[in-house]
Structure 1
Amino acid sequence: MIPRGRPALDIHEVAARAGVSVATWRRRHHAAFAAAVKPLPGSARPLLYDAAQVDAHLAGKPLPALPAGQHPDDLLTDAETGTVAGISASTVRADAVTGLIDRGTERHGRRWWTRAAAEARAGRQTQYKGRTTGARDLAPRKTQADPRVHEVAHLLAAVEAGTARPVTAAELAERYSVSTRTAERLIAKADKVCRGEI
């Protein structure tokens, strides 16, 4: 979360404020900095730091406190927005594309939404119908029987009875315009039909 009205800095901007390269910052200054200045809550990839706290640390002054409490102008990540709105982070991103929530703002390579937008989204139902998470089918789904399996089963029965010559997967592949592997699957299923397993 980026608190209302507070600029945030990533590690590159922190190093620039200190007047050193990122490599030098990480080698010489980052350990002491990380012990004193905590990243903003919820920030990751990249970690973000409050600009006022960074400036205070670099000046050797006490760190100012972050604003307390929640505010409608706080900027939230997709996960934080989802928590407030009662939906998943992926739904937040999908809703931003479909217009069910505003597009948010781009900062530091990721998108952020205001707490006000998240709270407004919390009152709306989702616009799509899908399977509920964790839903169980009451009955197994029925699949359409493949008529080719029964045709091949009749062929296999005729071969077993001695009234027809054996058929190969290559012949079936040509006959049904399928791959040899699909023809092999048809033979395997037909064999199960002949044995009464299907």
Structure 2
Amino acid sequence: MMIKRGFVSLLVLAAFALLAMGSFGKSDDEKAKEEEAKGTAKIGETISFEDSEWVVLDAKDVGSTLKSNNQFQEDRTSADGKFVQVHFKITNKSKKEEMLFLPLNLIDGEKNEFKELDERAFYVPAKAKTLGMEALPVGLSREFWTVFEVPKKATNFKFRTRKLKDDSDTKLVELGF
């Protein structure tokens, strides 16, 4: 009897949690419409959020082969794709040290979304930093690099910037290619 009551309580709690997430969360379509309504920034422009500022410093199509920055890691080649490298700066405007845990996204002109390469740290300039477990101290700026693998025909890329803690507030940056 006690086990049954505990199980029912757990089910009720799970149901409330799902209802809460459903009522507060936004669909991907809603997020995309909000993002479009905000317009886009250009490379070099500062994008401000309540907890941070972002500036995309540079972005480029680096072709179908990524050169490794490590003698023990081979170069990476994409048979049917290419790689896009983005260099950006984040300033922490919050009251405490923050870390970014959610992956960064690149969106093409067809609204396809691409996540960062898992092993991106091997394919950025030597000694460049990638966002991983990198701390962002209060009031300070840090520069980072990231890499995305995309189809060869993909164009019109936009890099998604966002609040530090979550992706509830975002803005796109046009990369110019």
Rg bigger for which structure?
1
Answer whether TM exceeds 0.5 for this pair. no
Greater strand share, 1 or 2? 2
Pairwise TM-score range, normalised by the shorter structure: under 0.3
What TM-score does the superposition give when structure 2 sets the normalisation length? 0.23
What TM-score does the superposition give when structure 1 sets the normalisation length? 0.22
Greater helix share, 1 or 2? 1
